[in-house]
Structure 1
Amino acid sequence: MQAWQVHENGEPGEVMRLAEVARPPLDEGQVLLKVRAANINFPDALLCRGQYQVRPPLPFTPGVEICGETEDGRRVIANSVLPYGGLAEYAVADTAGLLPAPDALDDAEAAALHIGYQTGWFALHRRAHLQAGETLLVHAAAGGVGSAAVQLGKAAGARVIGVVGGEDKARVARELGCDLVIDRHADDVIGAVKEATGGRGADVIYDPVGGDAYTQSAKCVAFEGRIIVIGFASGTIPTPALNHALVKNYSIVGLHWGLYKTKDPRSILRCHEELTGLAAKGAIKPLVSERVPMAGAASAVQRVADGVTTGRVVVLPHGGAA
């Protein structure tokens, strides 16, 4: 079978190599899936660089999120088990972690439903307890993680403000349903949020960026607001001033979705049922901006790493327009 492999750490476009390899072996409790679609996530780039919290043995195949097909023909969503990731014709997954792919979504959309939407759902509902009528601010609102949070926020009845970088991304954020879009390249983010909220600030702030985005968040969060720390796509991990959180009376809330797999695995299934229901109603639909063939996977991972994509970029290992 064909698979992209990383033999040394570095930039994805430089270290990913397409090779002909044997189908991966299976351990107890694992299943081999035919990869119908593989969604590219920022952690795939970090894995290539050797900067992710998990460091699989070299060589490994990136691709942590897939829509696959079981031997008996079931269409499922899964996280691949490294080193046998989803940027290949076949990938390995834990049998216990398989989730049914929603009928309302095609393969590429289904591949993009899992990590980003589960992260958004747990962050907004389990950690921040977002309420209808509250104001949700989403950083990187046109990206893969941000676009999911925008849709989930709208589905929950929140007023959503999206922060983006550039007019092209601003257009995408508007199409996603943001009530207000702020271009951080052209606008005063803090001033625009305060103006839009009558000086109150945002009740919930969804931050997958870190760095300057977090600094802005702390200056425009509302009384009893919640800043949800999702990740650090900027490459800069903030060191928040806790005295500021104390004086202004807001919460800094962390979200590590992967922990739910071990700490509360049933909640993953309950969340998937919620997401499937929202997809069936048309309330959420992953924004797939690119569907690329197998040969284009390395450059696609590099574009995601460089932050120049919008929505989701999905690889189709077996071709077609899934």
Structure 2
Amino acid sequence: MKAIHCKQFGPPSSLTLEEVSSPKPGKGEVVITVKACGVNFPDTLIIQGLYQLKPELPFTPGSDIAGIIKEVGEGVTHLHPGDEVFGFVMYGGYAEEVVVSAKACIKKPKAMDFTVAASLMIAYGTSYHALKNRAKLQKGETVLVLGASGGVGLAAVELAKLMGAKVIAAASSNEKLSLCRQYGADEVINYTSQDLKSTVKELTLGKGVDVIYDPVGGKYTEMALRSIAWQGRYLIVGFAAGNIPKIPMNIPLLKGCAIIGVFWGNFASISPKENLQNINELLHWYEEGKLTPHIHKIYELHQVPIALEEVMNRNVKGKIVIKCS
């Protein structure tokens, strides 16, 4: 089978497409013929050795997989060869086949395309966990989403609106913000041409926002935090801007707010039943036509380096998906 290999930590251009042996499942595992794999920002970090997880070299990146069960390992009874599934691996997804824990696989609705299934687990799983479990978002509250046109950001916009919130989307261009409007944003802020703090204050009549969803970090974090409402919740989701901001700790004191970490991968591993409940709720919304993952572009397996460059250069609205087989 073919797989993308990271032989040394570095830029996407250092990745190679290799012919490797097909994997075999261990106890509690399945082998999936990968039809599609979603591209996520952490993929760009893990290949550079900048992620909190550093796999032993060489390895295959890619986490958000959808495909067909090829083989099941010992003890797996709820999945069978031929089942169409989607799931999550820490790495290994940019390949024609991958071994996955059976607990990390969910049967795909028949009507759902593989590319859509490969766009759902991480982006929507992360955003729903953040808003539901971590922020405990209530109907009628106001949510500010930074990086709102990206994979997790756009999912957060769509989900926050579904959960009954007023949504303010912040992004770096009017084109990106137009897409956010389509996904339910009530108000938008172009933070390359508008002052984030003063615009939020104006849009909320001085109250500030109840929940801030931040997958970006960087220079906008402190400005956003200063715009939070009394007893608001600031969700730290990631650092797509490239640097981890330092926060003046007097701000949460004066605001009476909470700064909350969101690590969906650990949540899914430590609380699999709760995560499964979340995913089933997302699937229910999808089947009702209330969730529509936005596919920016589909690439072939050999084009993984190009896809990762697009993500790193912030040219992507919604999700890029790799067609693997």
- TM-score band, normalised by the shorter chain? over 0.9
What is aligned with 2:15? 16
Q: In structure 2, what residue type is equivalent to 1:78? A: G
Whole-angstrom CA distance in 2 between matches of 1:208 and 1:117:
13
- 4+ aligned runs moved over 3 Å, structure 1: none
Task: Check if 1:41 corresponds to 2:40.
Answer: yes
How many residue pairs match? The answer is 315
Q: Is the 8 A contact 2:4 2:302 kept in 1?
A: no
Instruction: Identify the residue that residue 202 of structure 1 maps to in structure 2.
Output: 209
Change in 2 beyond 3 A, CA 1:128/1:49: same
Indicate if the aligned counterparts of 2:38 and 2:118 stay in contact, CA closer than 8 A.
yes
Q: 1:81: how far off?
A: 5.2
> 1:120 aligns to what SS in structure 2?
helix
Q: What is the CA distance between 1:211 and its match in structure 2? A: 1.5
Matched, 1:55 2:54: yes
For the aligned residue pairs, the C-alpha RMSD in angstroms reads: 1.3
1:91 aligns with 2:90: no
Q: Could you state the TM-score of these two structures normalised by the residue count of structure 1?
A: 0.94
Which residue of 207, 211, 215 corresponds with 2:218? 211
For residues 268 and 151 of structure 1, the distance between their equivalents in structure 2, rounded to whole angstroms, comes to 19
Matched, 1:121 2:128: yes
Q: 2:156 aligns with which of 132, 149, 159?
A: 149
- CA drift of 1:11 comes to 0.8
| Residue number among 281, 285, 303 corresponding to 1:274 in the alignment | 281
Following the alignment from structure 1 to structure 2, what is the Cα–Cα distance between the partners of residues 81 and 184?
A: 33
Is the CA contact 2:196–2:224 (under 8 Å) kept in the aligned structure 1? no
Range with greater deviation from structure 2 (120-129 or 259-268):
259-268
Kindly tell me: are residues 104 and 199 of structure 1, through their superposed partners in 2, closer, same or farther at Cα, counting changes over 3 Å?
A: farther
1:186 and 1:116 mapped to 2: Cα distance? 27
Deviation at 1:21, TM superposition (A): 1.5
In the TM superposition, what whole-angstrom CA distance separates every residue of 1:158-183 from its partner, at most 9, and x where no partner exists?
11110001122122212222111111
Shifted more, 140-149 versus 86-95: the winner is 86-95
* 1:2 equivalent in structure 2: 2
Q: Which of the residues 73, 87, 102 maps onto 2:82?
A: 73
TM (norm. structure 2) is 0.94
Given that residues 81 and 94 in structure 1 are in contact (C-alpha distance below 8 angstroms), is that contact kept between their aligned partners in structure 2? no
Q: Deviations over 1:23-68 (max 9, x none)?
A: 1243322211001110001111111101111111111111111111
Residue 78 of structure 2 aligns with which residue? none
1:176 maps onto 2:183 in alignment = yes
C-alpha displacement at 1:239, in angstroms?
2.1
Hey, what's the Cα distance between the residues in 2 that align with 1:59 and 1:286? 32
Show the counterpart of 2:228: 221
Do 1:116 and 1:145's aligned partners in 2 also have CA atoms closer than 8 Å? yes
Unaligned runs of 5+ in 2: 71-80
In the alignment, structure 1 segments of 5+ residues that lack a partner are none
CA-CA distance at 1:102 after TM superposition: 3.2
Shift of 1:263: 2.6
Measured in 1, the distance between the counterparts of 2:11 and 2:269 equals 31
The code of the aligned residue for 2:5 comes to: Q
Structure 1 residue 104: deviation in Å? 4.8
Alpha-carbon displacement from aligned partner over 1:247-273 (angstroms, at most 9, x marks no partner): 121111111112223432211111111
CA contact (8 A) 2:135 2:233 kept: yes
Tell me whether 1:110 sits opposite 2:124 in the alignment: no
1:215-273 per-residue CA deviation (whole Å, 9 max, x = no partner) reads: 12111101111111111111121222222211121111111112223432211111111
In 1, are the aligned partners of 2:62 and 2:90 still within 8 Å (CA)?
Answer: no
Q: What one-letter code is carried by the residue in structure 1 that aligns with 2:41?
A: F
Q: For the Cα contact (< 8 Å) 1:104–1:279, is it kept in 2?
A: no
Shift of 1:295: 2.4
Deviation per CA, 1:269-293: give whole Å up to 9, x if none: 1111111111111221211111112
Distance 1:81 1:184, change over 3 A: closer
Identity between Structure 1 and Structure 2 (%): 37
Q: Which amino acid aligns with 2:287?
A: A
